[in-house]
Amino acid sequence: MFKKILAAAATTAAVFAMSASHAADMTGAGATFPYPIYAKWAEAYKAATGIGLNYQSVGSGAGIKQIKAKTVDFGASDMPLKQEDLDSDGLMQFPAIMGGVVTVINVEGITPGQLKLTGPVIADIYMGKITKWNAQPIAALNPGVKLPDADITVVHRADSSGTSFLFTDYLAKASPDWKNTIGAGTTVKWAVGVGGKGNEGVAANVQRIKGAIGYVEWAYAKKNRLSHTQMQNREGVFLQPSDDAFKAAAAGAEWTKAPGFGVVLTDQPGKQSWPITGVSYILMHKNQANGAKGAEVVKFFDWAFKNGAPAAADLDYVPMPASVVSLIQANWKSQLKDASGKAIY
């Protein structure tokens, strides 16, 4: 699987190269969380259709700004926008893919998946209350594991990030202290630590800094061969990250009851549910000045829903269920219009 991920990353530059001569090529910007799967889908879509995708992996906050400014054909965010915010900017959103956020560490002598962590302990680490890897709260969770007397370096996102939203939203649910002092959002006032831009930057910093802990989408952990940790879910079960665990967390999502498909999948019930599971959303203007370009974006994601599940599974993402895809397609038909008011799907 590592070879598949590395191969996808190696072809990213070629896949996302946008030729000025190809007027139909699409542009998007935003979340780094889904970047590996969008790269894989774009590669296959261009091979099938000749149409390329230039996707800028710049973080959810930047993606929201760019779609509002109409400098890209679509934005991507791992934090769903509220319906009133969508309406005020003439936007619609739909879910494209689901996956999991994991904690990753660089601790000598600890093997991947060996260390156990809980939400409250992670919160205390990120608030600077636990500063050593052999501190009692960590040792109590890991009897028999030889923990070094080494300083912890916290790594967090430096940009406005949907991955940060998922991470901090989970910690706010797991730790009342975190909720009251730090809170949840795409940007927060971090108590300690060093920042990295994008999932890529966090992964690179954790890889570089001895004693580091960070949080990234699971594909980045695997691509960079980072040592992940087990996490305890709300049922008290310690789990390894996996697509099955992400699927279990997504199983109870009530899409029809959420305005704008705005589902947050952190801290879901279920013994097999991964505690930090998230949805990545696509943002588009409902009124498409360039109807052909908007139609091409919809064709791309329609193609991905129909053909992209194997690639998603290779990277341990969770494809959208067929029932949700039907809801999304109905949403496209009712909301996306060209300059003349005609539906583009």
Query: Three-class SS of residue 291?
Result: helix
Domain boundary residue among 210, 232, 261?
Answer: 261
Q: pLDDT (tens digit, 9 = 90+) per residue, 131-157?
A: 999 999 999 999 999 999 999 999 999
Domain boundary residue among 213, 232, 261?
Answer: 261
pLDDT at 335: 96
**How large is the average pLDDT for residues 28-32?**
97
Q: pLDDT (tens digit, 9 = 90+) per residue, 68-109?
A: 999 999 999 999 999 999 999 999 999 999 999 999 999 999
pLDDT at 252: 85
Residue 271 lies in a domain: no
Q: pLDDT (tens digit, 9 = 90+) per residue, 114-133?
A: 999 999 999 999 999 999 99
Same domain, 113 and 94: no
Across 250-333, where does the E strand assignment appear? Answer: 277-285, 287-288
Residue 68's alpha-carbon distances to 18, 82, 201, in angstroms, are 22, 14, 25
Same domain, 243 and 316: no
Residue 7 has pLDDT above 60, yes or no: no
What pTM did the predictor assign? 0.91
In whole angstroms, what is the distance from residue 10 CA to residue 15 CA?
Answer: 10
Across the chain, where does the E strand assignment appear? Answer: 26-30, 53-57, 74-77, 91-105, 116-117, 153-157, 194-196, 212-217, 227-228, 230-232, 238-239, 277-285, 287-288, 337-338
Same domain, 298 and 244: no
Residue 1 has pLDDT above 90, yes or no: no
Same domain, 70 and 193: no
- Residue entry with tokens 């774009």: 42
232 pLDDT tier (thresholds 50, 70, 90):
very high
Residue 267 lies in a domain: no
Same domain, 113 and 236: yes
In whole angstroms, what is the distance from residue 326 CA to residue 124 CA?
Answer: 42
Q: pLDDT (tens digit, 9 = 90+) per residue, 174-231?
A: 999 999 999 999 999 999 999 999 999 999 999 999 999 999 999 999 988 999 999 9
Same domain, 248 and 160: yes
Residue 89 lies in a domain: yes
- Residue entry with tokens 């279990």: 248
- Domain hosting 209: range is 101-261
Residue 112 lies in a domain: yes
Residue 166 lies in a domain: yes
Same domain, 159 and 135: yes
Q: Name the domain count of the chain.
A: 2
Question: Is residue 34 within 8 Å of 76, Cβ to Cβ?
Answer: yes
